[in-house]
Amino acid sequence: MGLVLTVPVDELDISLVLLHQGQQTLVLEASQVVACQPLREMSNLPLLKFSDISPGSLARETRNTPSLKLTLRGESDVWQLQFPGGVEFIELKASCLHPLPPLMQKRRCWPAIKALIEYQGRILLLVDSRSLKNQLALQS
């Protein structure tokens, strides 16, 4: 019989990618991000614009920000997201991940929101790239 090591959930790390746009930050699991590159790079993959769902004030706030192109995993494919903002890779303890409260789960207008992340005194939204693609495609 082999040695079995158990690690408390609080000690597990999760790898995340933060998408900063103005004062807002969305979070993706790092495993869903395949690549990040300047927008000028050409590709045959479907490209959706994050600005299609951004509030007008946020779009104005990031007007002069260079856009990045994130390559993300979909349900059965790979797609790209044009994102005008900064990208940051972090690792956090799993204890920083929280389920959506029942009322927020029931009333969310973004099906892509899956959980909350506690980071640097802020609560951030963890977004699923597969659901985000479907949501953006419907709104564009």
CA atoms in the 13 A half-sphere facing the CB of 45? 22
Question: In this predicted structure, what is the pLDDT of residue 98?
Answer: 94
pLDDT tens-digit map of 7-66: 565 678 999 999 888 778 889 999 999 988 887 767 777 777 776 655 444 445 445 567
More confidently predicted of 43 and 91 = 91
Could you please report the per-residue DSSP string of 22-38?
Answer: TTEEEEEEGGGEEEEEE
pLDDT at 69 over 60: yes
Contact between 109 and 41 under an 8 Å Cβ cutoff? The reply is: no
Domain ranges of the chain: 13-139
Structure tokens, 12: 């597990």
Percent of the chain with pLDDT over 90: 29
Contact between 36 and 66 under an 8 Å Cβ cutoff? The reply is: no
| Structure-token match 């590709």, residue found | 43
